[in-house]
Every structure is written in structure tokens, then in C-alpha cells.
Amino acid sequence: MTLAEEFRTRNFSIYGQWTGVICIVLCFALGIANIFHFDIIILWSVFCLVSAFILIFIEIPLLLRICPTSAGFDNFIRRFATNYMRAAIYLVMSIIQWTSLVRYATSLIAAAVLLLIAGAFYALAGLKHQEFMSSKTLGGQGVAQMIV
């Protein structure tokens, strides 16, 4: 199935997964950019960086096969195999980034907004009773099982 065919299925989990990939890049970039504030904002930027690394393993299942990780970390990542669990983690990460407004407004708001959108896509997939569908391009739908 090509990427265009995946998008035509109108499965919101595919939209959520690709929005999540954009979140990975954005969280990584904004985490690094805001770490140089030398202020309390550094806590939110570190969490943004940590979020990017967690999301890499959640959204790209192929990496769990090829990267050496602990069994505990693998079990933690495998908890997010359903639409509702993914919606929950994205919403929690979004809320944490929104709390950065307590200090002052930074570019971390962009990460908060995009994390919220990704969480909304996963929540919509769950509410519409759509089966979780992982993009074949990102290592889902049997690609990860082919690598031994």
C-alpha cells in the first residue's frame, strides 16, 4: 500500500501517526532551540527533547527491532499500541508543553499545538471505532516482522 493509498483509507490513526512524525522533528528542534534560555524554560525544553525520543519509538515500530533497548523500555512503548493510549500520551505531552506558558511564551507553544492535533487524530480514530493502523512506510503492517 502506498502512502497515498494509506491516506485515502480515511483512518485517523494514519493521520495521527504522520502528525506524530512531524511532532518528533518539531519537538527535537524546539527542545534544542529553547535549551539555551538558561531559565526555568530549560525544564520544558528538556522534556520536549525527551518527548521526541519517546515518540520516535512509538511512531516508528521498526526502531524497536533494530535499536538495542531494555525490556522495560520495550514494554513501556508497547503500551501505546491502541488509539486511545496514543491519544493519552500525546495529550499529556501537549499539556506539559502548554504549562510552559506559566513562565512566558516561547516557541514551545508550536510543539504543544501539534502534539494536541496528533492526540486529537488518535482520539477521533478511537471514537469512530477505527482499528489502529500503522503506516507501512514507517515500518508497520508486517515490515517490522520481516526484519529478524
Q: How sure is the predictor about 146, in pLDDT bands with cuts at 50, 70 and 90?
A: very low
**88: CB partners within 8 A, 6+ apart:** 119
Give dist(CA 18, CA 123) in Å, integer. Answer: 15
Q: Supply the mean pLDDT for the chain.
A: 86
Q: What is the mean pLDDT of residues 86-101?
A: 95
| Segment (H or E) for 134 | none
Q: Among 104-108, 115-119, 125-129, name the most confident range.
A: 115-119
Domain map of the chain by residue range?
A: 3-146
Could you tell me if 61 and 138 are in contact, meaning their C-beta atoms sit under 8 angstroms apart? Answer: yes
DSSP helix/strand/coil, 16: helix
Q: How sure is the predictor about 130, in pLDDT bands with cuts at 50, 70 and 90?
A: confident
- Classify burial at 70, counting beta carbons within 10 Å of its beta carbon; exposed 0-12, middle 13-18, buried 19 or more: exposed
Q: What is the mean pLDDT of residues 90-117?
A: 94
Percent of the chain with pLDDT over 70: 84
In the chain, the amino acid numbered 43 is L
DSSP-derived secondary structure letter, 82: S
Q: What is the mean pLDDT of residues 36-53?
A: 92
Residue 136 confidence (pLDDT) = 66
Q: Cell 497515498 identifies what position? A: 4
